Structure 1
Amino acid sequence: MSDPFKSVNASKVTISELMLPSHSNFSGKIHGGYILMLMDQIAFACASKFSGHYCVTASVETVDFLNPIEIGELVTMKASVNYVGRSSMVVGIRVDSENIRTGKVKHCNSSYFTMVAKDDSAQNIEVPGLILASPDDIRRFYKAVHRIQSRKSNADHSDTFDSTTKEAIDNLSNYRVQLKSK
C-alpha cells in the first residue's frame, strides 16, 4: 500500500446526469433501479479512488426514496468514504435533483454502500486508513460505527430469537396479519 492514510477529501466524487425519458418508469418518474445503478457506480468510483484498487459492493444500507425525480431534472450524486475497516470502506452517498428551469433542488435520498477492495487475484486487500480533518468527517465516521454495531447487534438477535414461542405468536396480534389454521 503506497499511502498508509488518506483524507476523506481524497475519496470525494461527484457526478451529475440529466434525467431522460428512457430512465423513467410507467408513472413518468425516474426509475428507482436506474438511480440505484448510478449510486453503485459512484460508490465504486469513490472506493476505488480512495483505495487504489478494484472494489466490489458488499452491502447497501436502506435506501429511502424521499422525493421523486422528474424527467428533465439534473441529478447530482456526491460520495465520500465515511469509514474504513481492514479491506472495507463505507461510502456515503447523497442524491439531489435540480429542476434546471426553476433552480429548485430536492434531496432525493441518501445511502451507505459497503465496498471491499480486491487485488488482481480477487482477494481482499488492505485499504489506507482514514484521516478525519473536520467535525463532519468525525460525525460521519461515528455514525458509520454506530450503524455497523447496530447491524451486528440485530444479526445476533435474529440468530437467537425464537418466533415460535407463545409470546411471539401472541405478539402477532399487534400487526395486520392473520394466522392460518393448519
Structure 2
Amino acid sequence: MSSITLRFLAQPDTVNFGGKVHGGTVMKWIDEAGYACATAWAKRYCVTVYVDGIRFLRPIRIGELVEVQARLAFTGNSSMNISVEVSSGDIRTGAMETTTECVIVFVALDDDGKPVPVDSWNPETPGEVALASRVRAQIEASRAHRH
C-alpha cells in the first residue's frame, strides 16, 4: 500500500491555549499516518528518522473533520520518503482546506533494530512522478542548507 488516509473529528482534548488543535497533536497525527504508510509498504516495523519542512498553514478547529494523508513519494535502500498532508473542514459541507504539510522519512528495521532493505517504489502516474520530484527537491534543498 503506497498511501493511507486517516479520518476523524478534532476532539476537545486536543485544544491549545488559543482554542485550536495543538500543533504537537497535529505532529503526532502526521507521525502516525506516516508510520502506517511506511509499515504497510515495508511490511515490518519502521521508525521515523527525519521530518522536513513542516508548515502549519491554518489552524484546525475543534469539531472539524480531519484527514491526514500519507503518500509514498520515493524509496531508498531501507528508507521510505513520505509526503504527508493534513486537511480539515466542516463535515456538514464537506469543504476541506490544507492545514499542514511536510515530508517524513522512515527506515525499516529488523528484529535487532538494524536497517533492512525495502521494496522500491516506482511512481507511475503523472501525479506520483511529480510528487517524487517535489519531495526529492525539498529534501535536497534541506540538506544543502545544513552543510
Q: Given the two structures, how large is their TM-score scaled by the length of structure 2?
A: 0.94
Code of the residue aligned with 1:93 in structure 2: it is: V
Larger Rg, first or second structure (1 or 2): 1
Separation (CA, whole Å) in 2 of partners of 1:148 and 1:104: 31
- The one of 31, 39, 49 aligned to 2:30: 39
- Residue 57 of structure 1 corresponds to 48
User: Helix, strand or coil: the match of 1:136?
Assistant: helix
Correspondence 1:1-182 to 2 at 5 A: 10-156=1-147
Moved more, 121-130 or 104-113: 104-113
Unaligned runs of 5+ in 2: none
Code of the residue aligned with 2:144 in structure 1: it is: S
State the Cα distance separating 1:101 from its structure 2 match: 3.1
Give % identity.
32
Unaligned runs of 5+ in 1: 1-9, 157-182
State the Cα distance separating 1:145 from its structure 2 match: 2.0
State the Cα distance separating 1:72 from its structure 2 match: 0.5
More helix by share: 1
Partners of 2:6 and 2:68 within 8 A in 1: yes
Q: CA RMSD in A?
A: 1.2
State the Cα distance separating 1:79 from its structure 2 match: 0.9
Render the CA deviation track for 1:13-34: whole Å, top value 9, x for unaligned.
1101111111101111011111
